[in-house]
Amino acid sequence: MKGALCLIAAILLGGSIFFWAAAGASRGWTKTRIPVKTVDAVTGLEGIQWQEKFVPGVDFLGAAVLGAGVLAGLSLLVPRKSKPQRNETES
């Protein structure tokens, strides 16, 4: 149980950092839409079309670190699996 919690915490932390880095390592807040520039051929005006896209930001990273920390903390509360005691009289 203790090991499983530590493993989940490590996967959560590592996976979130990897996802955040792979998505562009945005140092701003998490975005759920991004602006895409379009140019009108006649007027030459640059317009903005909003495209739905999830871009994790530092708040996402913070939540992942917090979640991993909580799991790691919980693992400290779980007692270690006690080793079976040898019966000295048997030997």
Partner 1 sequence: MKTKLAILALIGVTGIAFAAPQTFDFKDPKGINNAGFKLDAPLEAINGNASGVSGTVTFDPENPGATRGKIAVATGSLMLPNPMQRQHMLSDKWLDAGKFPEISFESKEFKNVKTAGDTTTADATGTFTLKGVSKELTVPVKLTYLKDKLGDRVPNQKGDLLVIRASFTIKRGDFNIMPGQYEDKVSDTIEIALSVAGASPK
Residues that bind partner 1 (CB under 8 A): 28-35, 38, 40-50, 55, 57
Please say which residue, 57 or 67, places its beta carbon nearer to partner 1.
57
* Residue 39 and residue 46 in contact, taking contact as beta carbons nearer than 8 Å: yes
Give me the least distance between CB of 62 and partner 1, in Å please.
Answer: 14
Please say which residue, 32 or 82, places its beta carbon nearer to partner 1.
32
Give me the least distance between CB of 60 and partner 1, in Å please.
Answer: 11
> What is the full DSSP assignment across 16-81?
HHHHHHHTT---S--EEEEEEEEE-TTT--EEEEEEEEEE--HHHHHHHHHHHHHHHHHHHHSPPP
Please say which residue, 35 or 73, places its beta carbon nearer to partner 1.
35
